[in-house]
Amino acid sequence: MGMATHEELFKRIEQLKKEKNAVILAHYYTRDEVQQVADFLGDSLALSVKARDIDAKIILFAGVNFMAETAKVLSPDKKVLIPVPEAGCSLAESCDAAEFAKFKAQYPDHKVVSYVNTSVGVKALTDVCCTSSNALQVVESIPSEQPIIFAPDRNLGAYIQKLTGRDNMVIWDGACTVHEEFSLEKILELKKQHPEAKIVVHPECKAYIAEVADYVGSTAGILTYCGEVDAEEFIVVTEAGILAEMRKQYPNKTFIPAPPMDSTCGCNECRYMKMVTLENIVACLEAESPEVVLDEQTRKAAERSIVNMVNIK
Ligand code: 13P
Ligand code: SF4
């Protein structure tokens, strides 16, 4: 297509969506222009639920691989397209399924709670999935005397452990490189410059960052908080893609991205989320490929843990 403008690509995508009965689901961390072509924009939990319920022949998932896989697990009869299958996730990669199986074998009495940021292989070893939106609820749905393995995010795990006071949780030692990169020093410097600003933090960040937060929550939780709280300025400690939606929803408020440790650039981005572009969405819809394909045995094995999650009210 050469050097098509955003306007031309927007038009082409609209045409293709109609022609093919396709919907686009996008995560808040994708590029601004990608968020603009989404039929549904959300956090990991909302996107999982939407993937299960949506009425369309094709779902194009603008996000990273594990999200598209989750959509396919929940909607096996739909064609699930992923423009860039190489768009992985540092957190999902920090938990290899074979290694996790060995780890799990050491704790035969434990129930396994895994963040959705995992491969289908890890989900198959999981009793119930969670996201950053519902991790507390999921852990609290398990009787307090029941020991738990929490995987793969050590920061979210430690945060939930602190909130619940549960001492029977073993936590897999994984992390998201994007969220672990934020600099406390730089956040405190920003706070000095903007003393009225509220600090909002994703729970994938390290504990010493969460400690200075006015609010800790998922991307959807942060968005809601910014609307409800009586404040004009926010220091945003999560992937910078969320700023587009914040500025759209609250045009009269000011959002300041928190910088990572060793960078002079003002914000922190997930390179995987940014791999999805308007160009590769067009190509993917035109070719109806790449498509997420899971063998039925793997899909079935992973399904239970995700269904258990979406069923927790
Ligand atoms: P949410 O659970 O807020 O969607 O964020 C998870 C995440 O990091 C997605 O990559
Ligand atoms: Fe994975 Fe972190 Fe990127 Fe989210 S921000 S997709 S957890 S690498």
CA 259 – CA 300 distance, rounded (Å):
41
Strand partners, 291: 81
Structure confidence at residue 48 (pLDDT): 85
- Residues forming CATH 3.40.50.10800 domain(s) in the chain: 6-87+273-293, 91-176, 182-257
Q: Among the atoms of ligand 2, which is closest to the Cα of residue 270?
A: 3
In eight-state DSSP terms, residue 225 is H
**In which residue are the tokens 């609820």 written?**
137
Name the residue of 30, 61, 64 to mutate for ligand 2: max ligand atoms within 8 A of Cβ: 64
**Which CATH number applies to 6-87+273-293?**
3.40.50.10800
Mean pLDDT across the stretch 102-125? 96
How far apart are the CA of 89 and the centre of ligand 2, in A? 5
Tens digit of each residue's pLDDT (9 = 90 or more) over 70-110: 999 999 999 999 999 999 999 999 999 999 999 999 999 99
Query: Is CATH 3.30.1370.10 the classification given to domain 182-257?
Result: no
Mean pLDDT across the stretch 283-310? 95
Q: Whose CA is nearest to atom 9 of ligand 1?
A: 44
Q: Which of 70, 29, 75, 73 is nearest to 52 (CA)?
A: 75
- Top-tier CATH class for 91-176: alpha beta
Is residue 85 a contact partner of residue 65, using CB atoms and an 8 Å limit? yes
Average pLDDT, the chain: 95
Tens digit of each residue's pLDDT (9 = 90 or more) over 139-164: 999 999 999 999 999 999 999 999 99
CA 301 – CA 308 distance, rounded (Å):
12
How far apart are the CA of 112 and the centre of ligand 2, in A? 21
Its pTM stands at: 0.94
| DSSP letter for each residue of 117-152 | SS-HHHHHT-SEEE-TTTHHHHHHTS-TTS-EEEES
Is residue 240 a contact partner of residue 262, using CB atoms and an 8 Å limit? no
Q: Is the CB of 91 under 6 A from ligand 2?
A: yes
Q: Whose CA is nearest to atom 5 of ligand 2?
A: 270
